[in-house]
Structure 1
Amino acid sequence: MPSFDNSFLMNHTCLRIKDPKVSIPFYTENFGFKLVNTFKFETFTLYMLGYETEENKHLNWSARPGILELCHNHGVENDPEYKLNHGNGTEFRGFGHICVTVDNIEVAEKELLAKDVKFQKKLSDGRQKNIAFALDPNGYWIELVENGINKKDATSDKASYKFNHTMIRVKDPKKSLDFYRNVLGFKLLSTSEFPEAKFTLYFLGFEHDPSYTENSETKPNQFYREGIVELTHNWGTESDPEFKGYHNGNSTENGAIQGYGHTCVSCKDPATFCKQIEEEYGDKADWSLKWDQGNIKKIAFIRDPDGYSVEILGHDLFADQ
């Protein structure tokens, strides 16, 4: 079995963008992200954004959770026909949203509206009055939930904001939970069922306390975290022969458009980790890129049961750049 030491964490989520001159200020000015690193390659550039704290500011970008990777393919900003798939349309659904938790959600929403940020759902819309969904320049949904950290009336401090989770839809939760827990080492933090709407949410993250009890996380503690994966299961998809599955964000088959790219697991010894997966699962492991075999060295990509990509890399990747 793969072994998981205390270094394992969910490092980043990758989203493709059209124009970095638009997307980067959107996240830094409106949500308080900081541009941590920029990596330019021949045909694309990666922009790494995250929330800086005293605990993480001295760490390499790949050694900390809560990084948002924006991938810009050079030239698309000048292509009027270039489009991205936000994952929530009637076709090619899959990726759902990223989530930022904030200290005071009412004030945060008010400030975003004052900056002309568009919303898919405001606090006042629908039944759930404690969540909102903003829209980024490419149409990706950004969930807003209150973490209440040092909450004060009539103000919001972006230093309290957290890049909390990334939501993807899954066909069969049993298969997905087995993959994320046993292959990648995540722990099931909590489960939320919505019988009236016939769906269940599973929240997974890394937890290295040996006494931790899975599926016991309180909402306040969960909202304080970064580096969580939310798996959304719409009941019945696992047994529906007509269900064709979800779009993984990367495929262009049957007219699909790309958008979401991947999540990422980081650890101190990714080469050994990848070797352990191969030894344990053999051909059952669905690698899109095996360890150290791509143009960018010292990384790997493995697919989950729904075809979503998960990058595997080390804490020292590009540390000298």
Structure 2
Amino acid sequence: MASLSVSVSAGLNLSMFRASLPLSSPSLTLSSVRNSSSSYNPSRRLALFHLGSALPQSQLLGVQSSKFLRADGKTIEAAQDGNVAQSSTTVTRENVLGWAKNDKRRLLHVVYRVGDLDKTIKFYTECLGMKLLRKRDIPEERYTNAFLGYGPEDSHFVVELTYNYGVDRYDIGTGFGHFGVAVEDVAKTVELIKAKGGKVTREPGPVKGGSTIIAFVEDPDGYKFELLERGPTPEPLCQVMLRVGDLDRAINFYKKAFGMELLRLRDNPDYKYTVAMMGYGPEDKNAVLELTYNYGVTDYDKGNGYAQIAIGTDDVYKTADAIKINGGVITREPGPLPGINTKITACLDPDGWKSVFVDNVDFLKELE
């Protein structure tokens, strides 16, 4: 398939909601968007959280009314779609900044697109030891998604794979780095992957400038996985690495807007890069976001393969406020999704990486 270019718009328009979608996919035309609302049914549940992976734009545009905080600290009323949603409280800059730190947040899943779903599932289950948690086909919207991981979705970070009918290849770009998987024996895992025909791009050995044993492998679509040798951990799917153009800006944003902690900062002047580990708990027990800054590189091609991370929150309205005042762009105003009333909000960080926040209570209800 020819290269699939993507543009990111800062405005709240259809081009924003199409960001990173394969432009040739039949399910992504405006005609299918206009006609999709009549075929909507609540059984799709968590597939609705794609918001830029395979979700029809008509479902994204049904946003509700709430109060939002402007950059000057004043609240404004935003009304959409004729519905009134209840914002938690009138907010001030001070309590919004404190909210993100005290919110009960957890990385829920990471979403990306693959060209052969069955082949990818086979690689993840046989080579990486993941379990297929569930799989759903949505023929009227011409996509299938599968959730895989090392434990149930209500307590573990999982991958959400999306296959768009007829699209067999994606451009991963230069901005996405890798996923991290903790294993007890890197060498043994690499031998298994080789035996299954997997591609090893970095043989087992200590990380440059450190002692942790690592290796790199690629899945059938070319997504890289870093294997890290660790003892038993409750969260083997442990990292998502993204490259950023301004590390200080990114750290500040994720601390204040997302409520993450800076767990570790490592500068490697010999190799001209710096890494910041951000997350909601220790690296050995939680999935973390690994932000990488390469000296002198301020912008990256994000391609159209990687989509977003979903994060749980107790209040999508306050979360959106915190994101806005800390330089993020809201691409889906906070409120319930049509039909199932699951509350979400979606945003871009200062580098254009997308995240979706999902109400914690609503998320658990959807999993039932």
Q: Pairwise mapping of residues 1-321 of structure 1 onto structure 2 (< 5 A)?
A: 1-2=96-97, 3-4=99-100, 5=102, 7-41=104-138, 42-52=141-151, 57=152, 61=153, 63-76=154-167, 82-87=168-173, 93-123=174-204, 130-149=213-232, 162-207=236-281, 222=283, 224-238=284-298, 245-249=299-303, 258-278=304-324, 280=325, 284-292=327-335, 298-315=343-360, 316-317=362-363, 319=366
Matched position secondary structure for 2:169: coil
**Structure 2 unaligned regions, length at least 5:** 1-95
**Distance in 1 between residues matched to 2:234 and 2:255, nearest whole Å:** 29
TM, length-normalised to structure 2: 0.65
Q: Is the Cα contact below 8 Å between 2:190 and 2:200 reproduced in 1? A: no
Distance apart, 1:311 and its partner CA:
1.2
CA 291–38 in structure 1, closer or farther in 2 if over 3 Å, else same:
farther
**Distance in 2 between residues matched to 1:173 and 1:72, nearest whole Å:** 32
Q: Is the Cα contact below 8 Å between 2:323 and 2:330 reproduced in 1? A: no
Matched position secondary structure for 2:112: strand
CA 319–293 in structure 1, closer or farther in 2 if over 3 Å, else same:
closer
One-letter code of the match for 2:149?
G
**Distance in 1 between residues matched to 2:269 and 2:189, nearest whole Å:** 30
One-letter code of the match for 1:112?
I
**Distance in 2 between residues matched to 1:309 and 1:192, nearest whole Å:** 24
Q: Is the Cα contact below 8 Å between 1:190 and 1:202 reproduced in 2? A: yes
Q: Is the Cα contact below 8 Å between 1:35 and 1:50 reproduced in 2? A: yes
**Distance in 2 between residues matched to 1:133 and 1:273, nearest whole Å:** 35
One-letter code of the match for 2:187?
E
Distance apart, 1:191 and its partner CA:
1.1
Q: Which residue of 2 aligns with 1:215?
A: none
Matched position secondary structure for 1:247: coil
How many corresponding residue pairs? 263
Q: Is the Cα contact below 8 Å between 1:86 and 1:96 reproduced in 2? A: no
Distance apart, 1:289 and its partner CA:
2.0
Q: Is the Cα contact below 8 Å between 2:320 and 2:330 reproduced in 1? A: no
**Structure 1 unaligned regions, length at least 5:** 77-81, 88-92, 150-158, 208-220, 239-244, 250-257
CA 138–174 in structure 1, closer or farther in 2 if over 3 Å, else same:
same
Q: Identity percentage over the alignment?
A: 28
Matched position secondary structure for 2:189: helix
One-letter code of the match for 2:334?
W
Deviation digits for residues 265-291 of structure 1, max 9, x if unmatched? Answer: 11233344224545x45xx43122222
Q: Is the Cα contact below 8 Å between 2:202 and 2:216 reproduced in 1? A: yes
Distance apart, 1:130 and its partner CA:
2.1
CA 75–147 in structure 1, closer or farther in 2 if over 3 Å, else same:
same
CA 9–23 in structure 1, closer or farther in 2 if over 3 Å, else same:
same
How much is the aligned-residue C-alpha RMSD, in angstroms? 2.6
Q: Is the Cα contact below 8 Å between 1:263 and 1:310 reproduced in 2? A: yes
Q: Is the Cα contact below 8 Å between 1:12 and 1:227 reproduced in 2? A: no
CA 126–176 in structure 1, closer or farther in 2 if over 3 Å, else same:
closer
Q: Which residue of 2 aligns with 1:253?
A: none
Matched position secondary structure for 1:26: helix
Matched position secondary structure for 2:334: coil
Distance apart, 1:127 and its partner CA:
5.9
